[in-house]
Amino acid sequence: MKNKKLLSILSVLSVSVFCLSWSFSGNKNFASFTDDEAYSMLADHYFNDPSLLAKPVAQDVLVQKIQGDNQHVLLIAFYSKDNYNGKSVALNVAGRNLVLKDDGTDGDKLSGDGLYTAKIDADAEDFKQLAVSLSKRMQKSGAAYHFENRSLVYNADAIADFNSKQFDNYQAVSISNLNSFDTSSTGILKTNSLFITDLKVIEDPKRTWNPCAQTGTLYGAWTFQNLMKQLATVNPNKPPTDKQMSDFILNWLDNWSTTQIINGDSVMKRPLLKKVITNPWLQKSADNGAPQGQLDMRFAPFRLLAIVNRFDQRGGLPGEFAGEARLIFTLISSDCTQKKAYTIAFEYAINKPNNCDSIFDWANQWYNLKNLTLGSERYNAALQKITDQFTLFGDNPNKTNQNCLNSLHVNDQALTSGLDPLAGEFRQFIVSPVTHQMVMEPVRNSPADIYNVQEDNKDVRRFAQFVNDSTATILKQGYIDIPLTYKDTPFLGGKTRIIGAQPIGQPTGNIREPFHWDGSEPRKSGGYIKSNQARHLISLNACSGCHAGETQTFFWHVQPTFYGTESTLSGFLTGTAGFGGAIDFDNNPNNDSMTVLDAQLRPVNNPAYYIYNDILRRAMDIENYVTSDCGSVLQIKNELLFKPLNMVH
């Protein structure tokens, strides 16, 4: 009975007007909970925390000078009736509540016109000078673009032309496109603050360990061993012993040894796991004196590839008010001669209070890394001070084992046999609050693989119906959370796979046979997805679509590499075609704009294209945040216009 009640609540949450976000990540694993535990956790998590109610996203923000008052301005947010029609919009600004009203009072001109108004502290003349200065800088840089659903859109209107004459005449002037981003800072933010792959950092012997050379610091801050130890810690006064560490990791690896049913989806065993990872590691351990069946952490076959700041993911999911951060590792072959096609991403939710001062401080810690020499001891020490805030036991007392981990994502292409058409499989893990061991959970935003086959069957029709029924939400939000069940049938997958349409080793992103989520043809079939854009977005939001045809990516956004070689990033991330033979359809490799045709070549006669440079988007996001003081006109404007990303990747 409780289970039916829980599913009912989940259903209500998924269609809520306020778009409450719910993740199958963090410390929630319904396969592990009893019905009572699951229901209790959901109720406590959502209904006792009003801060989880999402605010509406403004369509425009304007500022207006007030006659006879130079110490304040009117800030006006516009919402169409379709997007929001409440009486007010409330924000927490610099520790106090700011309420914008659409009731014809306190500076609001007309009740019910969709223009929500508040008087805020700001020197009108100082703001005008700042706005004019920023407008001139944007025009000089030629930054005529913005981002829609991760895709870069060139648009001359994106360059703000602040109309100071209208402002001086007490008319409302739009400031939506006004931002403080300096295009010259993209490169340094990418390398120092957003996607850190430099060898002087990821092979820093003070903080990493090389199992092949047996050099470095065994439990350094950025080692696989340390991250696993923090996850395995239940009581800080009794850190896990060598035996307990070994058992924790072996239990995790054992998830590949047997077929499991996760949300009705058969996650097949991967026999190569023991041959590729477990057995060689155990053998090396035994050869060097470890007790029989116990792993020696000195031989953990994992190399750090990247440290990633996902500040851009803030505000979307419960507990992610300051976004996420990630450490990504690759597997090293047992003979220590090469990397293996197997990556592990530790994905952490940043546990910071939901207020501007706290989030501003967190963003600044990352942003200020641009002022330090990449890979210097001063830089690496500053970066460790940041990572220690989310990797260590105790960083989040409210989550399982007091750890910030949202989930552990594994891309295990190396476990595919030569006869298997499977190009790669994604699995997702959490620490169970019941057993305190790593367990599989459904892969967020990825439907089960049965819903993505090239035929018009009942499963494909169910998937197409879900997309067609959800099109309005998908187009409005740019995403939709895939539910655990749909029409009383398990829907979310226990794993998600990229099927090798070409022989393994060929680009999965080749437009001739791209892997993506597409329903079925022809147009009149029951499995046809009607909206071209909704099809693209639902596929882009799934791991297997984003790592293949939708972005022209050869399975890896972060390429596995061996020691001494820095990882190459995908074109989706950098704007330049990456590893694996990806095709940049503008045929210009030097313009930092990765152009990708629609994976299904829709519309038929004139296929849409999408332009990617996600690190540029992330750089714009963090710089606009940290260069606008809490409580300032631009900070409030940014908050009103901010649309949470709500994507896994």
For the chain, the average pLDDT equals 87
Is the omega angle on the peptide bond into residue 301 within 30 degrees of 0, that is, cis? Answer: no
428 lies in the same domain as 494 = no
Do residues 261 and 397 both lie within one domain? Answer: yes
Instruction: Report the amino acid identity of residue 59.
Output: Q
pLDDT of residue 648: 80
**Cβ atoms of 371 and 189 closer than 8 Å:** no
Report residue 531 as tokens.
């909206």
Question: pLDDT tens-digit profile of 376-397?
Answer: 999 999 999 999 999 999 999 9
181 assigned to some structural domain: no
Q: Looking at the domain assignment, is residue 642 inside a domain?
A: no
Query: What's the full length of the chain, in residues?
Result: 649
User: In the sheet that 96-101 helps form, which strands lie side by side, from edge to edge?
Assistant: 88-93, 96-101, 115-121, 69-78, 60-66, 173-174
Dihedral sign computed on CA atoms, order 395, 398, 400, 405: negative
Range of the domain at 27: 2-52
Q: Residue 71: pLDDT above 60?
A: yes
For residues 19 and 129, membership in a common domain is answered with no
- End-to-end Cα distance, the chain: 35
Q: What is the pLDDT of residue 23?
A: 31
How many angstroms separate the CA atoms of 618 and 573, rounded?
10
Q: Which of 152, 176, 200 is the last residue in one of the domains?
A: 176
User: Quick one: how far is CA 538 from the chain centroid?
Assistant: 15
Assigned token pair, 534: 């909704």
Instruction: Report d(CA 179, CA 621) in Å as an integer.
Output: 10
Half-sphere exposure of 506 (CA within 13 A, CB side): 13
Residue at 633 is within a domain: no
Residue 100 lies in a domain: yes
Instruction: Please give the pLDDT value at position 493.
Output: 96
In a domain? residue 624: no
Same-domain status, 360 and 388: yes
| 145 and 244 part of one domain | no
649 in a domain, yes or no?
A: no
Whether the link from the prior residue into 603 is cis, omega within 30° of 0, is yes
User: pTM (2 decimals)?
Assistant: 0.89
Instruction: Residue 130: count other Cβ atoms within 10 Å of its Cβ.
Output: 18
- Helix then strand then coil, in percent of the chain rounded to 5, is 35, 20, 45
Residue 544 has pLDDT above 80, yes or no: yes
pLDDT digits (tens, 9 = 90+) for 142-178: 767 889 889 998 876 666 688 999 999 999 999 998 8
Verify that 343 and 245 share a domain, yes or no. Answer: yes
Judge if 338 and 313 occupy the same domain.
yes
Q: What angle do CA 366, 370, 371 make, to 5 degrees?
A: 115
The number of folded domains in the chain is: 4
Task: Tell me: do 605 and 477 sit in the same domain.
Answer: yes
Asked if 484 and 369 sit in the same domain, the reply is: no
Asked if the model's pLDDT at residue 40 lies above 80, the reply is: no
What would the pLDDT profile of 442-486 be if each residue is shown by its tens digit?
A: 999 999 999 998 788 999 999 999 999 999 999 988 889 999 999
Residue 368 has pLDDT above 50, yes or no: yes
What tokens were used for 165?
């004459």
d(CA 536, CA 558): 22
Last residue of a domain, one of 407, 441, 475: 441
Lowest mean pLDDT among 390-404, 556-570, 635-649: 635-649
pLDDT of res. 9 = 31
Q: Which of 176, 204, 235 is the last residue of a domain?
A: 176
What's the confidence (pLDDT) of residue 184?
A: 83
Is residue 135 domain-resident?
yes
> Which tokens sit at 456?
């018009």
Q: Give the whole-number percent of the chain exceeding pLDDT 70.
A: 87
Farthest-apart Cα atoms in the chain, separation: 84
Q: Do 216 and 345 belong together in one domain?
A: yes
231 and 165, same domain (yes or no): no
22 is a domain residue: yes
Q: Is 197 found in the same domain as 161?
A: no
| Statement: residue 138 has pLDDT above 50 | yes
Tell whether the model's pLDDT for residue 69 goes beyond 70: yes
- Whose structure tokens read 């854009």? 533
